[in-house]
Amino acid sequence: MKTHICDLLVVGAGLAGERAAVAAAEKGCDVIILSLVPPKRSHSSAAQGGMQASLGNCFKGYGDNTDVHFEDTVKGSDWGCDQDVARLFANTAPIAVREMSHWGVPWNRVVAGKKVLQNGMEVEDLPEKDGLITARNFGGTAKWRTCYTSDGTGHALLFTMDNVVIERKIPVHDRMEAISLIHDKETCYGAIVRDLRDGSLHTYLSKATLIATGGYGQIYGKSTNAIINEGTGTSIALDTEVVPLGNMEAVQFHPTGIIGTNILVTEGCRGDGGYLLDKDMNRFMVEYEPKKKELASRDVVSRRMQMHMKKGFGIKNPRFGEHLWLDIRHLGHKHIHTNLREVFDICQSFLNVDPVHELIPVRPTQHYSMGGIRTNIDGHAYGLKGLFAAGECACWDMHGFNRLGGNSVAETVVAGMIVGAKAGEYIQHHEVKIPTSIGKDAYNAQVDKIESLKATHGKKGENVYKIRHEMEEILHKNVFVFRNGDELQTAVNELTKLYDKVKNVTLQTNGKWASPELATAMRLPGQLRQALCISHGALNRTESRGSHYREDFPKRDDKNWLNRTLAYWPKGENKPNLNYENVVITELPPGDRGYGEATQEKK
């Protein structure tokens, strides 16, 4: 057993984790970052489109400010967010984007002069704004607010952030997976960690622990998320019994995942003027959403697409099923090869399609989890002192039931900055005595778990990958864009059966060293618990709000459901305990979003 001691243990080296580590280090804390992969490979690097911040530098952004950004975010969330958090976020985003610029992000800049937009409108960027950070259009926003670096925004941000981590000499222990938190149901003292190079177990003791492990998208199988987004951090928080996951039923489906590989093509395609077309080459979004067209919020566009395919307007691909077209041909060779070059590469490599001349086959695909480890406005987790969370794995909660494009990258950096500093202050002001016996017990529990799995080698039982794929199928079939009571009940029943079966998993290999089969087997029960939190939460919530759409309860119900689901998992149970808490409303009372089904019905 190897023991490491630090002030703050950060689990996850994406944008949120690294920004938080830097903030805590600035408070004088001794920080260690753990990462499943070399930090520059974290999934933040795949964010293409951009980061929202109300700089108001480009023509279509004039008049923008933190109030408008706040309002767009609350409407986007379908009033499911905490408005004090959304306000803090909107106010901090411009500082965060400028700080990243100071550290080296090559943001695209305003070029002064007249230009004609895709819709024929003529605009003129003013000379005094020339050279300031520019922005592109994204869904659900009143102004052009999404700052970008070509369509490699996440890559540029993550590289810059990791470079700062290197400059500040903050150690990153990569190929390490936190598999359990060390805690006594009151305070968190660090984590038990499995080394993915040789399978050895390590104890990390810390005064505070900050989880920043991103989403769990891969439990849906068909997801735009990276392979490593398996909900490892959310899983170990839920395992404590005392920390709840918030709003797990709030799952975002992105309108433009490509067929086959489910890789994302950015919302920037539509933001820059791309269209969605059906089998008759009809631009159907104009009819459904006359005002926002392709740029209503993601939940709305995904539903319109699914509905349109249900009506028979989809294109049938013999191998991958139905899809619609994304058309960016009219943006032209130069634009696609500069501002959408990743999209070009993805289309070429994974579809054999040249988007300058051909259409891109797309459909709604699991993309983001609004839910996660429930924290207060400081990022401090409910239920455990000294446990913090930031970024996609957290339910901080600025996204409510639908996140706007460009707000996730922004959240990672803003929350990293704020929560990292709060964790640093917590460490400064709290004397933490770590009872070593708790660390030893937590370590031994994981050794037992691993040894008993290894002992199943070659015995008859359930196949790890088979259970994994069954879970993916159940979620994808029953807890997707459109939901109803029957299908959700089916999901709950089948997942419960699977959760029972997972106890009988056996390994085909000896599970020695850094066995990938053992790693998958270890993650499975926690993934099923999360899948059950999603399904139970969705079944219980008898209304439609943001991305959670119930065909049997198609209206938002503010009287009964203007609240947040909190899912706790008691040890030994096969279902979560669901509690509810009110959302914080400080400025904007529930109303009309200005797009979506409710808005169109009123007209």
Partner 1 sequence: MARHLKISVFRYNPNEPEIEPRTEVYEVEEIDGMTFYQALTYIRENLDPSLMFDFVCRAAICGSCAMLINGQPRLACKTQTAAYPAEVNLLPLPFFKLVGDLSVDTGSWFRQMSERVGGWVHTKKEFDPNAIEEKMSNEEAQEIYELDRCVECGCCIAGCATINLKPEFVGAAGILRVARFFIDPRDERSANDVFDVVGTEEGMFGCMGLLACEDYCPKEIPLMNRLAYIRREMAKAAFK
User: Please, which of residues 533-572 interact with partner 1 by CB under 8 A?
Assistant: none
Whole-number Cα distances in Å, 49 to 156, 186, 276: 11, 40, 17
The footprint of partner 1 on residues 375-394 (CB under 8 A) is none
The footprint of partner 1 on residues 572-591 (CB under 8 A) is none
Residue with tokens 């805690």: 183
**What does the alpha-carbon distance between residue 369 and residue 376 come to, in Å, rounded to a whole number?**
18
Least distance from C-beta 32 to partner 1, angstroms? 14
The footprint of partner 1 on residues 46-65 (CB under 8 A) is 46, 55
- Determine if 2 is a binding residue for partner 1 (CB under 8 A): no
Task: Go through the chain and tell me how many residues it has.
Answer: 603
Binding segment for partner 1 (CB under 8 A), chosen from 70-78, 129-137, 307-315, 485-493, is 129-137
**What does the alpha-carbon distance between residue 376 and residue 379 come to, in Å, rounded to a whole number?**
5
- Determine if 321 is a binding residue for partner 1 (CB under 8 A): no
**What does the alpha-carbon distance between residue 230 and residue 240 come to, in Å, rounded to a whole number?**
18
- Determine if 273 is a binding residue for partner 1 (CB under 8 A): no
At position 180, the amino acid (one-letter code) is S
DSSP conformational letter for 463: E
- DSSP H/E element including 567: strand 563-568
Which DSSP string corresponds to 37-77?
S-GGGSGGGG--S-EE-----SGGGTT--HHHHHHHHHHHT
Binding segment for partner 1 (CB under 8 A), chosen from 1-9, 179-187, 347-355, 481-489, is 347-355
Q: How many residues bind partner 1 (CB under 8 A)?
A: 71
Least distance from C-beta 84 to partner 1, angstroms? 20
* Residues 467-506, mask of contacts with partner 1 (x by CB under 8 A): ----------------------------------------
Residue 405 main-chain phi, psi, to 5 deg = -60, 140
* Residues 204-233, mask of contacts with partner 1 (x by CB under 8 A): ----------------------xxx-----
- Determine if 45 is a binding residue for partner 1 (CB under 8 A): yes
- DSSP H/E element including 600: helix 597-602
The footprint of partner 1 on residues 146-185 (CB under 8 A) is 149-150, 152, 155-156, 159, 163-164, 166-167, 172, 174-175
> Which residue, 156 or 471, is less far from partner 1 as judged by CB?
156
Known catalytic membership, residue 136: no
What pairs with residue 114 in β-bridges? Answer: 124
Residue 296 main-chain phi, psi, to 5 deg = -70, 175
The answer to whether 577 and 532 are in contact (CB under 8 A) is no
> Which residue, 45 or 206, is less far from partner 1 as judged by CB?
45
- DSSP H/E element including 337: helix 332-338
Known catalytic membership, residue 270: yes
- Determine if 111 is a binding residue for partner 1 (CB under 8 A): yes
> Which residue, 310 or 466, is less far from partner 1 as judged by CB?
466
* Residues 407-446, mask of contacts with partner 1 (x by CB under 8 A): ----------------------------------------
> Which residue, 323 or 541, is less far from partner 1 as judged by CB?
323
Give the start-end residues of each E strand in 444-503: 462-463, 482-483
Least distance from C-beta 578 to partner 1, angstroms? 33
* Residues 445-464, mask of contacts with partner 1 (x by CB under 8 A): -------------------x
136, 254, 523, 556: the catalytic one is 254
**What does the alpha-carbon distance between residue 155 and residue 108 come to, in Å, rounded to a whole number?**
14
- Determine if 131 is a binding residue for partner 1 (CB under 8 A): yes
What's the burial of 576, exposed, middle or buried (CB within 10 Å: 0-12/13-18/19+)? Answer: buried
> Which residue, 513 or 580, is less far from partner 1 as judged by CB?
513
SS3 (DSSP) at 355 = coil
> Which residue, 130 or 557, is less far from partner 1 as judged by CB?
130
Residue with tokens 């990958």: 465
What's the burial of 39, exposed, middle or buried (CB within 10 Å: 0-12/13-18/19+)? Answer: buried
At position 79, the amino acid (one-letter code) is W
- Determine if 99 is a binding residue for partner 1 (CB under 8 A): yes
- Determine if 106 is a binding residue for partner 1 (CB under 8 A): yes
By CB under 8 A, name the one of 317, 444, 509, 586 that touches partner 1.
509
Residue positions annotated with a catalytic role: 254, 270
